[in-house]
Amino acid sequence: MKAQVQKALHKEEYNIEDFYFQTGICQGLARSKTFQLLGLMMIVLNLLWIGISTDLNKATVLVKAPLVVQVFENLFTIFFVCELLIRFMALKRKCAALNDVWFVIDTVLVLLMIWETWIEVLLWRLFGNALNFNPIGTQLLRIFRVVRITRMARLMRLLHYFPEMMVLFSAILCAVRSVLSTLVLLVVTVYIFAVFFVQMLADTDAAHGCFDSVPLGMHCLMINGIFSSQADILNDLLKESLASYASMLVYSLVASLTLGNLLIGVICEVVGNVANIERDRVMINSVKHKISHVLFKLDADHSKSISRKELVSLLENPAAVRLLNDVGVNPACLVDAADFIFKEVKELSFEHFLEMVLQFRGSNHATVKNLVDMQTFITQELSILEGRLGSKLSKLLDSRMKPSVHSRHTSRDVCLN
């Protein structure tokens, strides 16, 4: 029954390789570790190439870019299209690809690469003049060019190979609601004080250039009170366009406030945990070494095991008692538990005894497993007690029934006589 319950509660992780063919070239390539590592390497190279091509290529369409940019863009597109096709052809049921999040994300990214690398070039060849002299068409091409930033989403595939990044990403997702609530509270606070200063400083020289209006007051409070180090660039972007200013403001809120504080919190948590673990490890190893040294001295029969008598001798040793107290074990509780420890065995090995002693540390937290174990133990003991009482009661009844039967036979014999 336990096995059935555990099987019902166990949720198997979705793995798209379970839906691959068992034979064939495509499934062999898709399962190959070399092929997977090559894909990860190309993802990293493509991410680096995005930054390089951004500096080298200022054209709105790939056909106008330098030759080296065109070559590498086509190579990356061909590789990712082939990789996606190999993974798709390896599936026995093609509709299974829709259940895999990473496959769907890769498909969308590959389609965007195809649009930018091949379809946009084709449209330019067909309608180049119309797009070139049409400001709206040029603006659309620039917007499509910005969409290439979505290729950064492939970085998410690396999370499976770096558990630390997965922990940070999961922490960010869990903190999204709290962070958004904090940002809303921050904006509300800035808005309230902007209204306050605009009303208080109206028609004064102090309001000129900063508190002439509520939006300008909010901008002034944020760049001087929150983002003072980014004040110059925020002012320049505000003069350029509202979209650039808003993008920089979002970046500052996310990178400086959210991720910066999250990094500080994670580092403090990790350092604290590592310090506690290391402190406990050093203390436990030291206590084990010292208690083992005392146990070897008390081991009269040199059996490398401890008996109840030797435990009593250990607890009578002041140095051993102080060592147990230093590691958080109450020697008095160990005395009370001696009967329980040696209930079913006469001797314990040194390693088993030390592990059992460390379980009596006061800093250990009681878990549900401990409560279930205690409940199981009490139930078993009650069952044993019930069996013993039943056995003794049956014997007592039998002993009382035998004299009454004997007396009836005696009285019958007397009457016959």
Task: List the CATH number of the domain containing 88.
Answer: 1.20.120
CA 243 to chain centre: 35
Q: How far apart are CA 333 and CA 360, in angstroms?
A: 8
User: Residue 5: pLDDT above 90?
Assistant: no
Return the percentage of the chain with pLDDT > 90, whole number: 7
Give residue 393's domain range.
369-410
The answer to whether the beta carbons of residues 334 and 357 sit under 8 Å apart is yes
**pLDDT averaged over the chain?**
78
- More confident: 190 or 310: 190
Burial tier of 123 (Cβ tally within 10 Å: 0-12, 13-18, 19+) = middle
> Which pLDDT belongs to residue 159?
66
Q: For residue 259, give the 3-state DSSP assignment.
A: helix
Specify whether 222 is located in the same domain as 151.
Answer: no
Specify whether 42 is located in the same domain as 151.
Answer: yes
Domain membership flag for residue 167: no
> Which pLDDT belongs to residue 192?
92
Mean pLDDT value across residues 279-296: 72
Give me 40's structure tokens.
């990860």
Q: How far apart are CA 323 and CA 218, in angstroms?
A: 62
Checking phi first, is residue 302 left (phi over 0); if not, alpha (psi -120 to 50) or beta?
Answer: left
> Which pLDDT belongs to residue 7?
65
User: Residue 194: pLDDT above 70?
Assistant: yes
Give me 68's structure tokens.
């080296």
Specify whether 348 is located in the same domain as 216.
Answer: no
Q: For residue 13, give the 3-state DSSP assignment.
A: coil
Domain membership flag for residue 33: yes
Lowest model confidence (mean pLDDT) among 77-81, 127-131, 269-273, 353-357: 127-131
In 82-127, where do the E strands start and end?
Answer: none
- More confident: 168 or 70: 70
pLDDT band at 147 (very low <50, low <70, confident <90, very high): low
pTM above 0.85, yes or no: no
The answer to whether the beta carbons of residues 326 and 363 sit under 8 Å apart is no
pLDDT band at 298 (very low <50, low <70, confident <90, very high): low
User: Residue 211: pLDDT above 90?
Assistant: no
Residue 220, CA atoms < 13 Å, CB-side half-sphere: 17
| Dihedral over Cα of 321, 326, 327, 333: its sign | positive
Specify whether 315 is located in the same domain as 394.
Answer: no
Give me 212's structure tokens.
């002439």
Q: For residue 15, give the 3-state DSSP assignment.
A: coil
> Which pLDDT belongs to residue 235?
85
Q: For residue 182, give the 3-state DSSP assignment.
A: helix
| Domain final residue pick, 229, 244, 274 | 274
User: Residue 287: pLDDT above 90?
Assistant: no
| Dihedral over Cα of 253, 257, 263, 266: its sign | negative
How many structural domains are present in the chain? 4
User: Residue 71: pLDDT above 80?
Assistant: yes
Which residues touch 74 (CB under 8 Å, ≥6 apart)?
A: 117
pLDDT band at 128 (very low <50, low <70, confident <90, very high): low
Specify whether 130 is located in the same domain as 33.
Answer: yes
327 C-beta neighbours (distance < 10 Å), count: 20
pLDDT band at 175 (very low <50, low <70, confident <90, very high): low
DSSP per-residue codes, 49-71: HHHHHHHH---SSGGGS-HHHHH
Domain membership flag for residue 318: yes
pLDDT band at 74 (very low <50, low <70, confident <90, very high): very high
Specify whether 89 is located in the same domain as 191.
Answer: no
- More confident: 130 or 255: 255
Specify whether 132 is located in the same domain as 199.
Answer: no
Output the furthest CA–CA distance in the chain (Å, rounded).
142
